[in-house]
Amino acid sequence: MQWYLSFPKSYICIVVIYILNMIHFSFSVHSLTKSICSPYLFSTNIDIRTNHQYVQPCPVPTPCQCLCEIESKRLWIDCFSRKLKILPKFKIIQTNNSIIQWNIDLAFNLFENLTNLKWIPNNMHIHYLIFSGSLAYDLIVQLNLTHRHLIDKWPNQQHLSITNNDDDFDIVDDYEEEEEDDDIEDINKHLIIQPNYEHTRLLTDLTLEFRKKTEQIKQFALSLSGEPSSVSILYLDHNALDSIPSKALYNATGLYELYLSYNNITFLPAYAFGFSHRLTRLDLSYNQISIMNNLTFERHPQAYAGPFLIDYLDLSHNQLTILHTNIFSYLVNLRLLKLQYNQIHTISAHVWTGLYRLKYLDLSHNYLENFTHAFYNSYLNELNHLKLTSNNISQLNSCEFLSLKSLNKLDLSSNIISNLDTCTFYGLPRTTSRSSLHIHLHSNQFETLHPCTFINFARSTIHIENNPLTCNCTFNYLLHDRKSLAYTGQECRGGYDYQTQTQLSIPAVRKTNKAIRKKILNTSVSCRSTYKYYNNLCPQIDCTSLCSPNELLIIQITAIVAPNRTTSLLFQTTFLPLLFIVFYVISNLN
């Protein structure tokens, strides 16, 4: 009956102490407030400067901290600038099989080579995983990373302002011009907050200060395997990677965005992103990439699907010279492609195979010269913004933009073009009711513009600023053809004016030099005959017949079938079941 008397007194003391500790723990837990971010976490304190909760239990030990952003209800594991040499060990938090979504900031530490195996518990999902080596202002704004130690570093220990303040910031789109298509604006949903000079200087100084005390990552091989993958957005920008972390991306099926800008990557291997079938945004800008394998963006042979969902690809500021045929053919959902500031000197129409959803293409600041049939591909049917600024283009042949049926903005500025064929822009949507056509020809070498080149370009704007134009009566014909001719007035001194019996519509001429507009216009009689001459000549130019053979050429070039998700899964969805049925029938017959 008194069986407990047989136990040693020391055991009884241990049991009593354990029971008392459990009672105390239960009371202490219930005395804490549940975190607004998760019912499995409790708030221990609130930082009034950032309006963040410190939460427990935390899956990582000190010096890292676990925070809850009260406004956004996001959980952060803050290991920013903690002088860590190895990755912290993550503990499992008991959640009744529920998954907690965390964001992890591991930037500015002493990591050099990250080659660990799987290190994230199964009940954790990582939305943002940050190893970035820069205090980029747009990143801070986008992620609202006020939990960083910037408050202590910022002058007067003030909270780092990330809200829109007209005195400090200007909100701009990723595109330079005001007249942008709504579909293009949907591509770049992230607004860039441009801070004033003082904020930019302070962030640069802080970045340099942090880098002096930290290391840049040279190798990255963390396993992102698992179904689903535990990481959604990965920041590895501003480090010292010299190659794509292919091992880390093996089976990275849950990765949506990948940022690898400002590294030392020189080569993109085959199937570099072949397992990332959820990847939508890829930034490889500001590297040293000179070679891309023709299978770089293809599906890996062992993968269910490849990166066919990518809609934003940035390869700008690299050292690319040639784009191989069908290099982007798997990216059937690509809508924005940036290739500016490379060394591309040759492009073929086959490069654009498969890009039937592409809307924005930037090839500015390259070495393109006289290209012919470079855009003869019907896959570019939805392209509405093409930038060819600052190349070495000196001549444009007829029918060059014949297949670009949706183009409403063509930028050919800052080249060395001196002459245009009268059928150069034939096929462009000149009279669309959806949007106007803008052709930028400023900062070239035009002395004259043949008026018939822009015949019937109603509701269009032709920018011809900063050209050495020689003005004569032919220029006057351009002014009366229901288009907006953008020039400063210095080039043509307002053009020529004359009296005529025919009632002409007043052109929409936009000038920036109002003083010149007030000058007396030449009323030469010869201009009237010149106007009549071109008014009879231009309708007789038959660009349709001239370009019809080229339309057949476009069909031939586009006849190549682009590999896509449907064709890549054809064997799995059709032939495998059929093979199974045949095998089943044969086995039953035997």
What pLDDT, in 10s, does the model give residues 415-426?
A: 999 988 899 998
Domain annotation covers residue 298: no
**Strand ranges for 506-549 from DSSP E:** 508-510
> Across all residues in the chain, what is the average pLDDT?
78
CA within 13 Å, CB half, 7? 10
- Cβ atoms of 107 and 83 closer than 8 Å: no
Q: Is the pLDDT of residue 59 over 90?
A: yes
- Cβ atoms of 75 and 38 closer than 8 Å: yes
- Cβ atoms of 377 and 402 closer than 8 Å: no
Q: Is the pLDDT of residue 366 over 90?
A: yes
Domain annotation covers residue 13: yes
What is the rounded average pLDDT of the residues 46-50?
Answer: 81
User: What secondary structure letter does DSSP report for 190?
Assistant: P
Pick the more confident residue, 144 or 543. 543
Q: How confident is the model at residue 188 (pLDDT cuts 50, 70, 90)?
A: very low
Domain annotation covers residue 423: no
What is the rounded average pLDDT of the residues 394-421?
Answer: 92
Q: Is the pLDDT of residue 114 over 50?
A: yes
Q: Is the pLDDT of residue 25 over 80?
A: no
- For CA atoms 277, 281, 286, 292, give the dihedral sign: positive
Map residue 539 onto helix, strand or coil. Answer: helix
* pLDDT at residue number 94: 86
Residue that is written with structure tokens 């209800």 in the block: 73
Map residue 117 onto helix, strand or coil. Answer: coil
Domain that holds residue 24: 3-31
Q: Is the pLDDT of residue 297 over 90?
A: yes
Pick the more confident residue, 189 or 81. 81
Q: Is the pLDDT of residue 566 over 50?
A: no
Say which range, 55-69, 166-180, 186-200, has the weakest mean pLDDT: 166-180
Domain annotation covers residue 17: yes
Say which range, 267-281, 368-382, 483-497, has the weakest mean pLDDT: 483-497
What is the rounded average pLDDT of the residues 250-264?
Answer: 92
How far is it, in rounded angstroms, from Cα 56 to Cα 545? 75
Q: How confident is the model at residue 126 (pLDDT cuts 50, 70, 90)?
A: very high
Q: Is the pLDDT of residue 136 over 70?
A: yes
Domain annotation covers residue 511: no
* pLDDT at residue number 174: 43
For the chain, give the percent of residues with pLDDT over 90.
39
Domain annotation covers residue 220: no
What is the rounded average pLDDT of the residues 80-102?
Answer: 89
Q: Is the pLDDT of residue 219 over 80?
A: yes
Which tokens hold the place of 454? 């822009």
Q: Is the pLDDT of residue 229 over 80?
A: no
CA 96-99-102 angle, 5° bins: 135
How far is it, in rounded angstroms, from Cα 81 to Cα 210? 8
Contacts of 318 (CB under 8 A, 6+ apart): 284, 285, 286, 287, 288, 289, 290, 341, 342
Domain annotation covers residue 142: no
Q: How confident is the model at residue 24 (pLDDT cuts 50, 70, 90)?
A: very low
Domain annotation covers residue 9: yes
Say which range, 125-139, 192-206, 301-315, 486-500, has the weakest mean pLDDT: 486-500
Pick the more confident residue, 28 or 258. 258
* pLDDT at residue number 497: 43
H/E run at residue 74: strand 74-78
Pick the more confident residue, 570 or 491. 491
Contacts of 235 (CB under 8 A, 6+ apart): 107, 128, 129, 130, 131, 132, 139, 259
Buried b / exposed e along 256-266 (16+ C-beta atoms within 10 A): bbbbbbbbebe
Q: How confident is the model at residue 435 (pLDDT cuts 50, 70, 90)?
A: low
Domain count, the chain: 1
